[in-house]
Amino acid sequence: MKQFKMFLFSLCFVLSGMAFGQEVTAKKYDNPHWVSVGMIKFKPMGKSKAMKIVEDYFAKADEAAGIKPPTIYHLVGGDYDMMVVWEMTEGLEAMNYETSPEDVKWLGEMAKLTGGQEQTMAKLEEFYGYVDNFKSTLARKE
């Protein structure tokens, strides 16, 4: 019902603009700032172990690769334990990469920290082993 009311309100708003003879024109955002947002729910007793990996490996790989680390929010309510926000320095163009240049640098630094590519993949698998649920979305900052 709430969604229907919002739809009805939006429809009235659009139609009122047309009723006054205002022309609808296309408009792009000026210099949009895009971020990737990850929502993480950890398995019971998994958050502290996962955060140890973040501190000992992920954050160090960010620094060594010269990559701005994500902003991390520890949530106190709701379905998720943590929200992680990565700046998309290339904007939506970043979505056109299967593996971005930043990913390559980061994985290279992780390999130095862990002792090789296989160990890096094992460390990533260990981290995700502590994750119960993960979802992601994109957001535009205004």
Q: pLDDT tens digits for 11-43? A: 555 655 555 567 899 999 888 999 999 999 999
The confidence band for 140, taking pLDDT boundaries of 50, 70 and 90, is very high
Q: Has residue 10 got a pLDDT over 90? A: no
Residue 20 lies in a domain: no
- Domain with 116, as residue range(s), is 27-141
Assess if residue 22 is contained within a domain: no
pLDDT for res 7: 58
User: Cα separation of 73 and 39, whole Å?
Assistant: 10
pTM assigned to the model:
0.79
Flag whether 73 is in a domain: yes
**pLDDT tens for residues 56-114?**
999 999 999 999 999 999 999 999 999 999 999 999 999 999 999 999 999 999 999 99
Total tally of structural domains belonging to the chain: 1
Distance spanning both ends of the chain, measured CA to CA = 29
The structure tokens listed for 130 are 């502590």
- Residue 44: inside a domain: yes
We report the CATH number of the domain holding residue 41 as: 3.30.70.100
Q: What is the pLDDT of residue 142?
A: 82
Q: Is residue 6 part of a domain?
A: no
Looking at residue 13, its pLDDT comes to 59
Q: Is 69 helix (H, G, I), strand (E, B) or coil?
A: coil
| CA dist., res. 11 & res. 33, Å (int) | 28
Q: Is residue 43 part of a domain?
A: yes
pLDDT of residue 15: 58
How much is the pLDDT for 2?
A: 61
Pick 1 or 139 by higher pLDDT: 139
Asked if residue 94 belongs to a domain, the reply is: yes
- Tell me, what's the pLDDT at 121? 98
Say how many residues make up the chain. Answer: 142
- Please report whether residue 133 resides in a domain: yes
